[in-house]
Structure 1
Amino acid sequence: MRLRHRSGTTLHLGYCTNVHPAEDLDGIIAQFDTYAVPIRARLETDVLGLGLWLAAPVAEVLAADPALRARLRAELAARGLEVVTLNGFPYRSFHDPVVKHAVYRPDWTTRERLSYTFDLARVLADLLPDDAARGSVSTLPLAWRVPWSVTMADQVARRLDQLAAGLAAVEAATGRVVRVAFEPEPGCVVETTEQAISHLARADTSRLGICLDLAHLACAWEQPAAALKALRAKGLPIVKVQLSAALESADPQALHEYVEPRFLHQTRNPHGEAADDLDEALARGLPGPWRVHYHVPLHAAPEPPLATTAPVLVEALRELAGGREPLCDHYDVETYTWGVLPPALRPRTPQQLAAGIAGELDFARTHLRDLGVTA
């Protein structure tokens, strides 16, 4: 969806398609009809934005074939869909039975991660609507925190220089600006705002910046206003915002039914104590209250004593879009965990999943409208 900030800036609001499993072009296009078109109809919007997830193999094929890129763009346009941002965090196999730490590989020490991101930038340059100011690609926060060494940090610094140069080449060849956004996440080399500044402030900030995932920010027990102030002070742009909410509970025992085998659910309390997964936190008896990296629907509060960090999201939106100028123009709802929710909360049909995603987008749209953003 396209919304207009009081400054006249267009804000792009969509949802991330990493919630869907397809990793080939035909499967991706089929998802448009199964999910995106019904979501657009429910929201009664002329255009629906997608934060498209392209696994590495299909990204490589598309980057090498202009005709396939033209086909994908035409398929989107025919359905009233558009793409200004890609999710380049999961490399592939994001819906395997067990993902866990594999989602952080390959990391930014490797040529594979750089090549994948270049492929995404080339694809996005051709998918961008003609009147879009720029595109964005979100990516992982350099690497998982262990192992990490001075040598790895030096390798990453070289990759980021190569990345900035490659993005400049994409702009020279296509006339389109594509920026890459690094997404702080619990347990990674870049988890907090302070770490983002430490590792990224010396990068080319005209092309590289931050993807602010609001569930991750909440799990770090950071305050949105303070985090954004620190990033702005160091000149690190917010390239993309992922609208997400984490689980929260003062009674950790209520979280047992959320233990599941596919994704990693890093758990933190406000005292700085942490576990890398929910089952580990439960086994250790980590003192509460807890915030858990488990993306839950934005618009549907769980039964007490469980809660979500949606209030952090609302506060962050006020900071991001409530001022004279927006701090970001790309907003993506990113609840990829619908398929691993406890059975009673899990959608059983494509229609139920589409309805849930539409509900999340309407939640986000309503809160943006409350800030004076218009359709």
Structure 2
Amino acid sequence: MRFRHPDGSVVHLAYCTNVHPAEDLEGVINQLDGCAAVVRKQLKVPVLGVGLWLANTLAERLANSPIALSRLARALDRNGLEVVTLNGFPYSGLRDRVVGKKVYQPDWTEPARLDYTLDLVKVLSELLPADAAYGSISTLPLAWRTPWSRSRDAQARQAFGKLDEHLARLETRTGRRIRVAVEPEPGCVLEMIGQATNWLSPYAVPARGAAGARGTQGARGGGGSRVGICLDTCHLAVQFEEPGRSFALLAEANVEIVKSQLSAALHVASPWDPAARELLAEFAEPKFLHQTREYGGPGVDDLDLVGELSGHASWRAHFHIPVHAPPRPPLTSTTDVLEESLRHLVGSAQPLTHHLESETYTWSVLPSPPKGREELAAGIAGELAWLRDRLVALGLTQL
């Protein structure tokens, strides 16, 4: 879905296809012909954005096979779909019964992570619509927090240096601008906005007022840096990071928001309430990691460990809740953080990013998951409609 911002630039809204964990070309095309096509028809839009997730083996195939890439492009075209962003965080294995910490492997100290990202860069540069100002790829925040060291950090720095040089050469050679967005996540090396801005400072744009200053993205929204941040509103909420302060930190550091993933976390206002704890237990499933934080206190790495928390203050869990469908009371979700973040992202004179992505990948592990493709498509369409209404309320015009 496309929207015109009051400054004249186009803001893209997509849904992330990591909710469909196929890892081969045939499976991805079936998802596009099936669920994605149904979502577009339910929304009655001429073009629907999809944030493709491509497993490493498929990314390599597409990067090296014009025939395979052409098949994917034709599937997108016949279904009225476009791609301006890719999710390059998971490497593979989203079909596994237990994903857990495997989603952080390989990390940015390993050559395989850079190779995978470069394959995605090549694929996106070919799929990107001709009128898109840039393409974006979100990636993991270096690694899970342990083990980490100065030498591992230096390895990650070296990999990002190679990536940045590659992106610059690609833009010079083809005119295609591809940008990579590091996504802070609870439990990782970079889990807070302050940590991410410090690490990304070498890629900051010039200070306001200088040539190429922050905020001069222009009508097409190209942005100034090739490497920036992916702001996930679920992750922001889990860490109890206040949106206004977080956006201020990014502005002070001149680190650009390349992309934002719009999602809501699970919120437990009264963890001492037996009814809340009983409902919360329904979300403790084994496939994904659900890092949980206590306000003003420590955190644990999964929902089945919350007994280690004091329970004296509210909890938030890394469980992506459909933004238009809150959990049963007394549980809630952090749509308030999402809505405040949206005001910062696109509610000012110029948008802070032009790529927005709905990323609720947890449909299949909800206590009451959708039954079949039609229900899943209806849920995804419902989320996008909820987000659309809020973008329009902020002054954007749907195209």
TM-score tier by shorter-chain length is over 0.9
The separation in 2 between residues aligned to 1:151 and 1:17, in whole angstroms, is 35
Question: Is 1:297 paired with 2:316?
Answer: no
The separation in 2 between residues aligned to 1:250 and 1:225, in whole angstroms, is 21
Paired residues in the alignment total 373
**Cα deviations across residues 167-209 of structure 1 (Å, max 9, x unaligned)?**
1122233220000000000000100011002211123761100
Question: Is 1:354 paired with 2:373?
Answer: no
Of 223, 227, 240, which residue of structure 1 is paired with 2:246?
A: 227
SS of equivalent to 1:33 = helix
The aligned runs of 1:1-375 (5 Å cut-off) are 1-203=1-203, 206-252=225-271, 253=277, 254-282=279-307, 284-342=309-367, 345-375=368-398
Contact map agreement 2:19 2:361 (CA 8 A) in 1: yes
Contact map agreement 1:101 1:264 (CA 8 A) in 2: yes
Contact map agreement 2:284 2:304 (CA 8 A) in 1: yes
The Cα shift of 1:332 comes to 0.4
Mark the runs of 5 or more structure 1 residues left unpaired by the alignment.
none
SS of equivalent to 2:397 = coil
**Cα deviations across residues 212-257 of structure 1 (Å, max 9, x unaligned)?**
0000000111111211111111111000010100000123313111
SS of equivalent to 1:202 = helix
The separation in 2 between residues aligned to 1:182 and 1:353, in whole angstroms, is 28
SS of equivalent to 1:53 = coil
Q: Match for 1:59: what amino acid?
A: A
Q: Match for 2:317: what amino acid?
A: V
TM-score, normalised on structure 2?
A: 0.92
Contact map agreement 2:294 2:309 (CA 8 A) in 1: no
Q: Match for 2:133: what amino acid?
A: A
Q: Match for 1:107: what amino acid?
A: D
Q: What RMSD over aligned residues (CA atoms) do the two structures have, in Å? A: 1.1
Taking only the aligned residue pairs, the percentage that are identical comes to 52
Q: Match for 1:64: what amino acid?
A: N
SS of equivalent to 2:83 = strand
The separation in 2 between residues aligned to 1:27 and 1:285, in whole angstroms, is 45
The separation in 1 between residues aligned to 2:30 and 2:6, in whole angstroms, is 37
The Cα shift of 1:283 comes to 5.1
The Cα shift of 1:284 comes to 4.8
Mark the runs of 5 or more structure 2 residues left unpaired by the alignment.
206-224, 272-276
Contact map agreement 2:293 2:316 (CA 8 A) in 1: yes
The Cα shift of 1:95 comes to 2.3
TM-score, normalised on structure 1?
A: 0.97
The Cα shift of 1:107 comes to 0.3
The Cα shift of 1:142 comes to 0.5
The Cα shift of 1:285 comes to 4.9
The separation in 2 between residues aligned to 1:91 and 1:57, in whole angstroms, is 9
SS of equivalent to 1:155 = helix
